[in-house]
Structure 1
Amino acid sequence: MTELNEFTIIKGTSKRIVDYWKWAYSNINMNSERGVFAEFLIGSALDSLGTGRVEWDVADIKYRGNLIEVKSSAFLQEWEQKKPSIPIFDIAKKYEFGEYTSSRVRHAHIYIFALLYEEDRNFMDPLDMEQWEFYILSTRRINEFFGDQKSVSLNPLKKVCNPVRYKDINSVVDEIIDIQNKSD
């Protein structure tokens, strides 16, 4: 496979791969791209970007031997809205990937819920880390507080954990891992 960088020419054209990336992925306000961007932010904060993103992997980030699932939401969407959305995060248990089983589990050890919370479209900037809040919970706590729920909205999440700034993600995740290691 060709190693890609921003200067890679798409064979048979005058276009570079960066032209494709700009065309396909430049709007990180779209739900699907905001989610991938949130994964990138968490991987960056934990210095755990690894060799790249694997679509449909069992978790989004691997850090200190732990699997981390990243979920994102926002008040504002790319489509026209009469009022801001209610942020909702997927916490559904999943089947074992590639396995035939009737049981579902939450595979990650830690969930990080990334909220782009700016509610004024004129000021919303997903590249501004001051416009993000991160809610970090161990899967044990998610199971304890939310059981078999498939999703959780912002207000119930706020009742079980406090928002974290981008610069504090690493220390909060480390603290959760240390607590889990002591209790194992």
Structure 2
Amino acid sequence: MSPDRLSLDAFRRWVLGDLVDNRNRGLFAEWLVGMALGVIDETMSRQEWDAYDLQYRNKKIEVKAAGRSQSWNPNHSARTSFGIAQKKMSWSAATDTFTHHDQPQRFADVYVFCMHEPVPADNAKVADPAYWQLWVVATKVLDQELGSQKSLGINRLNQLATPVPWRGIREAVDAGLGEAHDHE
């Protein structure tokens, strides 16, 4: 390929080619949840560094991802946890403003925890929602049950919520928000 004719698709493959990589798997999990909630379309792009990952019915959704298999040691089952630390500063992509908070806090209304299960993992398994275990927890539950705790392991997560299938995310998020809606 000539340097004069760069391909955006080639760039995307180069950047995101390994979906097992922690960063890429996390981005995929955000997209997976966004698709389940119906809040992503092909005209959108992801907002890096925003205070939360997705917006659904004017509520903020934080997506946390982990995987048992890692790119650097694919046949070893890794111990996993999710970062849930409260923060004293947030940035809004919509307004391009930073806000400092007197007390650390979690900025989303609901968290969706996404665990990719297979060992070893590969791109096809990451791309298949059937290989993900998903939990939805309202932020108020995290705050009440865990306070300022900075990470959350699977055992404790299972005490807070029951895993849901990918097609059940929307209903679980609605329940976490205390809302009931008819879905088409």
Q: So what's the TM-score if we normalise by structure 1?
A: 0.85
Contact 1:67 1:108 in 2 (8 A): yes
Tell me the CA shift for residue 124 of structure 1.
Answer: 7.0
Aligned amino acid, residue 139 of structure 1 = T
The corresponding residue for 1:37 is 28
Contact conserved, 1:94 with 1:104, CA < 8 A, in 2?
yes
> Counterparts of 2:85 and 2:133 in 1: how far apart (Å)?
21
C-alpha contact 1:118 1:124 (8 A) present in aligned 2: no
SS of 1:32 mapped into structure 2: helix
With over 3 angstroms needed to count, the CA separation of the structure-2 counterparts of 1:39 and 1:11, relative to structure 1, is farther
Where does structure 1 differ by over 3 angstroms across 4 or more consecutive aligned residues? Answer: 120-124
Residue 11 (structure 1) shift: 9.7
Aligned partners of 1:110 and 1:136 also within 8 Å: yes
Q: How far has the Cα of 1:152 moved from its partner?
A: 0.6
Structure showing the higher strand proportion among its residues: 2
Counting only pairs closer than 5 Å after superposition, residues 1-184 of structure 1 correspond to structure 2 as: 13-49=4-40, 51-80=44-73, 83-97=76-90, 98-121=98-121, 125-178=125-178
Conserved 8 A contact 1:116-1:132: yes
User: Quick one: percent identity of the two aligned structures?
Assistant: 27
Unpaired runs of 5+ in structure 1? 1-9
Give the Cα separation in 2 of the matches to 1:157 and 1:144: 14
Structure 1 residues 179, 121: closer, same or farther in 2, change over 3 A?
closer
Q: In 2, Cα distance between the equivalents of 1:61 and 1:48?
A: 8
Who is 1:5 aligned against?
none
SS where residue 125 of structure 1 aligns?
helix
Deviation at 1:178, TM superposition (A): 2.7
SS of equivalent to 1:99:
strand
Structure 1 stretch 171-180 or stretch 118-127: which is displaced more? 118-127
Deviations 1:21-80 (A, max 9, x none): 111112111000111110000110001126321000010000011100000001100002
- Aligned residue for 1:159, secondary structure, equals helix
Q: Secondary structure at the match of 1:103?
A: strand
**Cα distance in structure 2, aligned partners of 1:166 and 1:86:** 22
Residue 14 of structure 2 aligns with an amino acid whose one-letter code is W
Q: Is the 8 A contact 2:19 2:122 kept in 1?
A: no
Q: Distance in 2 between matches of 1:61 and 1:20?
A: 24
- TM-score norm. by structure 2 comes to 0.85
Q: Do the aligned partners of 1:86 and 1:154 also contact (CA within 8 Å) in 2?
A: no
Per-residue deviation at 1:82? 7.0
Q: Which structure carries more relative contact order (alpha carbon 8 Å, separation 6+)?
A: 2
After superposition, the CA RMSD in angstroms is: 2.3
**Cα distance between partner residues in 2 of 1:27 and 1:123:** 7
Structure 2: distance between partners of 1:68 and 1:123: 25
